[in-house]
């Protein structure tokens, strides 16, 4: 059963500006789980990949908040990449499963997180 939805959109240009201004500090603060997948991208694609991951984190926080679960941005981890991307949320109830989609183009990155309640047998 669908419990909550969170969505976020991020300007890739704004994220690129933050990346050039704060560099490694920004990566360590926003992505302590690592960004190896994005670092393998071509230089022009790095900001879009990171912006999409950030949008996913924000969308997850919004979805959990809508479900009445207080989750901070630092508790949300985006692991892996491509078709193997996973979302891990520290302190999230086990009966809520995040189902998500992310995308990015030249100007914007977007993410949607649906929280689905797992059936109890």
Closest CA to 52 of 40, 35, 65: 35
Q: How far apart are CA 47 and CA 60, in angstroms?
A: 20
Homologous superfamily assigned to 2-117: 4'-phosphopantetheinyl transferase domain (3.90.470.20)
pLDDT above 80 (res 121)? no
DSSP state of 3: E
Q: From the CB of residue 121, how many other CB atoms can be counted at a distance below 10 Å?
A: 3
Question: What is the pTM for the complete model shown?
Answer: 0.92
Element (H, E) at 61: helix 46-66
Which residues have CB under 8 Å from 110's CB, separation 6+?
Answer: 7, 8, 9, 10, 52, 55, 102, 103, 104
User: Mean of the pLDDT values across residues 39-57?
Assistant: 92
* pLDDT > 70: percent of the chain: 98
Cα 50 from chain centre: 9
| Residue with token string 């690592």 | 34
Closest CA to 91 of 113, 110, 67, 112: 67
Q: For 77-88, what is each residue's pLDDT tens digit?
A: 999 988 889 999
């Amino acid at each position: 059963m669908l419990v909550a939805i969170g969505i976020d959109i991020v300007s890739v240009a704004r994220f690129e500006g933050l990346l050039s201004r704060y560099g490694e500090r920004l990566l360590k603060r926003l992505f302590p789980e690592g960004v190896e997948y994005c670092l393998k991208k071509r230089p022009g694609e790095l900001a879009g990949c990171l912006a999409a991951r950030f949008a996913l984190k924000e969308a997850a926080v919004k979805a959990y908040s809508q479900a009445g679960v207080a989750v901070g941005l630092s508790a949300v981890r985006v692991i892996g990449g491509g078709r193997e991307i996973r979302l891990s949320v520290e302190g999230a109830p086990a009966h809520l499963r995040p189902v998500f989609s992310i995308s990015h183009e030249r100007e914007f990155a977007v993410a949607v997180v649906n929280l689905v309640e797992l059936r109890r047998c």
